[in-house]
Amino acid sequence: MYTVAITPISVATAAVYGATGQINGFTFGLFLVSAIAVIAWINLSNDVFDSETGIDQNKAHSVVNLTGNKALVFWLSNACLLVGIGGIGAIAYFQQDWRVLGAIALACALGYTYQGPPFRLGYQGLGELICLITFGPLTFLAVCYSQASPPSPTLWGASLFVGISTAIILFCSHFHQVEDDLAAGKRSPIVRLGTAKGSTVLAVSTVSLYILTPLFILCGYFSPWTLLLFLTVPVAYELVNHVGQYHNQPDKVRNCKFIAVKLHFWTGLCLSLGLIL
């Protein structure tokens, strides 16, 4: 799952490098470490908050279920947040640009509203929108300011791409959980749509990645090298085909999140290369 931290930082940094021909390696490294700590926070605190609603009763790998110590996991998650925000704060300080910290702090606040009381917006099916905004434009803005570069159409285009590919991971994570979600009152997009319509939405969202890229090339935002993205079509096909076949069979569809992670990783790598070349 930690590729969800690495990919947006790498693609945004590649977009900056493509535009300016230089990046600060130390800032890039510190951003990566900080983003990983933020993702550790969101996952550990998700287990804490979900243990309060009972939705994770059957989730064997919930760290709260594994340790039986909710307080410990809560404080561990806060420590991760402190490390993550501390690292981003240090970058903002070195750059003397507090917009870096502001964008990531806003992303973290939105991440909290996904799962924490009193908001729990994920229970209303709003997680994918939060994912798109936080892993897309907010993270990309923070990265470009951290590299002392202004946002460009290339950066916005790439942020939309990564925002969608990250939201696809979250969307896929709901297919096998319909029963548990219904029991806990969580109206995930798959609970709302049903698994059949959900698999169609997944297909359309996945295909949109391969439409947006040529469109951005035609607009002059992306280099033609970003067509490297089409090397990932077999993974996209695997995802759409797997969910299309097994959307209503929880045991068979449960691994689709990991195919989505694979798609997110490889599309991110191809896009980064395309933006650098």
Ligand X SMILES: O=C(O)C1=CC(=O)c2ccccc2C1=O
Ligand Y SMILES: C/C(=C\COP(=O)(O)OP(=O)(O)O)CCC[C@H](C)CCC[C@H](C)CCCC(C)C
Figure out which of the listed residues 64, 85, 138, 169 binds ligand X, where binding follows CB under 6 A. 169
**Residue 60: φ, ψ to 5°:** -65, -35
Q: Is position 113 an interface residue for ligand X (rule: CB under 6 A)?
A: no
Q: Tell me how many residues contact ligand X (CB under 6 A).
A: 11
Choose one: 35-43, 192-200, 218-226, 241-249; the region binding ligand X (CB under 6 A).
35-43
CB atoms within 10 A of CB 156: 18
Q: Is position 107 an interface residue for ligand X (rule: CB under 6 A)?
A: no
* 195 vs 228 by CB, closer to ligand Y: 195
Figure out which of the listed residues 63, 107, 131, 259 binds ligand X, where binding follows CB under 6 A. 131
Q: Sign of dihedral through CA atoms 227, 255, 4, 36? A: negative
CA atoms within 13 A on the CB side of 165: 33
Figure out which of the listed residues 46, 147, 154, 206 binds ligand Y, where binding follows CB under 6 A. 46
Q: Is position 39 an interface residue for ligand X (rule: CB under 6 A)?
A: yes
* 15 vs 176 by CB, closer to ligand X: 176
In whole angstroms, how close is the CB of 265 to ligand Y at the nearest point?
A: 14
Task: Tell me the C-alpha distance between 22 and 200, whole Å.
Answer: 41
Token reading at 107: 């992303």
Figure out which of the listed residues 11, 14, 16, 42 binds ligand X, where binding follows CB under 6 A. 42
Task: Tell me the C-alpha distance between 246 and 196, whole Å.
Answer: 9
Task: Tell me the C-alpha distance between 156 and 150, whole Å.
Answer: 11
Query: Which helix (DSSP H) or strand (DSSP E) does residue 23 occupy?
Result: none
Figure out which of the listed residues 1, 71, 182, 219 binds ligand X, where binding follows CB under 6 A. 1
Residue 169's binding partner, choosing from ligand X, ligand Y, none, with beta-carbon cut-off 5 to 8 A by kind? ligand X
CB atoms within 10 A of CB 182: 12
Task: Tell me the C-alpha distance between 134 and 111, whole Å.
Answer: 8
* 7 vs 228 by CB, closer to ligand Y: 7
Q: Is position 139 an interface residue for ligand Y (rule: CB under 6 A)?
A: yes
Task: Tell me the C-alpha distance between 271 and 277, whole Å.
Answer: 10
Q: Is position 111 an interface residue for ligand Y (rule: CB under 6 A)?
A: yes
Cα-based distances in Å from 35 to 86, 142, 169, 177: 11, 11, 17, 27
* Binding site residues, ligand Y, CB under 6 A: 5, 8, 35, 38, 42-43, 46, 50, 56, 59, 104, 107-108, 111, 114, 122, 127, 130-131, 134-135, 139, 170, 173, 177
Q: Under the rule (CB under 6 A), what is the footprint of ligand X?
A: 1, 4, 39, 42-43, 131, 166, 169-170, 173, 257
